[in-house]
């Protein structure tokens, strides 16, 4: 492996990360270059490099790829102008003709075991159900049901990971809440959902 490769990797890591008013579980990870504000990561979840995650609840066992944007501000389209020159707060421009309060931002909720592909954009206030998959580059503007696979701009359901009966059983099992000792034993069957559910007694 060439030294240049390791040097480039080092530079990537040295960018640091910005985390404010957030809780990241000790088993979870935020990669360098990411900004996390008013967010919560449950256990065994991660986000990749260069993500921006604002006002968001993220469940356990979630995989968020590089350069994903979740949440963030919205401009008031029903006002005379959507410009920050008319609402309160510090912004990219200096002028303030008035300082009206914008509606409070809505919290985005990501369920458990969700996989979000690279450069996906997820609108403020959206709920993504447990087990869902969001394809790379998708623009998610509406709620996503559990175990659905969505992609596109705007994102639409492509298929579901499992048949409805199996989805119901997985959701009812709440396997992501199990004791880690139980999960370690059941992990031998992670490639077979039916066997996994039998192992945990679901």
Q: Determine the Cα–Cα distance for residues 11 and 16; give it in Å rounded to an integer.
A: 10
Active site members: 75
CATH superfamily name and code, 15-161: Hexapeptide repeat proteins (2.160.10.10)
**Residue in this structure with the two tokens 């604002």, named with its chain if needed:** 54
Task: State yes or no: pLDDT of 181 exceeds 70.
Answer: yes
Copy the structure tokens of residue 147: 């175990």
Task: State yes or no: pLDDT of 129 exceeds 80.
Answer: yes
Task: State yes or no: pLDDT of 109 exceeds 90.
Answer: yes
Q: Which of 11-25, 48-62, 181-195 has the lowest mean pLDDT?
A: 11-25
Per-residue pLDDT at 90: 81
> Hey, which residues does 23 pair with through a beta bridge?
40
CA 139 and chain centroid, separation? 13
CATH 2.160.10.10 residue ranges for the chain: 15-161
Copy the structure tokens of residue 169: 């059983």
Per-residue pLDDT at 103: 86
Report the b/e string of 108-129 with b at 16+ CB within 10 A: bebbbbbbbbbbbbbbbebbbb
Look at 132 and 99; give whichever has higher pLDDT. 132
Please report which confidence band the pLDDT of residue 122 belongs to, taking 50, 70 and 90 as the band edges: very high
């Amino acid at each position: 492996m060439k030294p240049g490769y390791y040097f480039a990797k080092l530079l990537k890591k040295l960018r640091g990360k910005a985390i404010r008013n957030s809780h990241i579980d000790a088993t979870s990870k935020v990669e360098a270059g990411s900004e996390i504000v008013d967010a919560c990561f449950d256990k065994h979840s991660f986000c990749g490099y260069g993500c921006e995650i604002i006002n968001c609840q993220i469940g356990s066992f979630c995989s968020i790829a590089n350069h994903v944007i979740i949440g963030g501000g919205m401009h008031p389209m029903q006002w005379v102008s959507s410009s920050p020159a008319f609402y309160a707060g510090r912004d990219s421009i200096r002028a303030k003709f008035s300082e009206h309060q914008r509606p409070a931002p809505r919290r985005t909720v990501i369920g458990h075991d969700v996989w979000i592909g690279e450069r996906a954009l997820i609108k403020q206030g959206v709920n993504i159900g447990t087990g869902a998959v969001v394809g790379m580059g998708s623009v998610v503007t509406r709620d996503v049901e559990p175990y659905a696979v969505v992609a596109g701009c705007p994102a639409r359901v492509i298929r579901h990971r499992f048949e409805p009966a199996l989805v119901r059983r997985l959701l009812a099992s709440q396997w992501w809440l199990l004791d880690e000792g139980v999960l370690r034993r059941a992990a031998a069957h992670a490639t077979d959902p039916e066997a996994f559910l039998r192992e945990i007694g679901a």
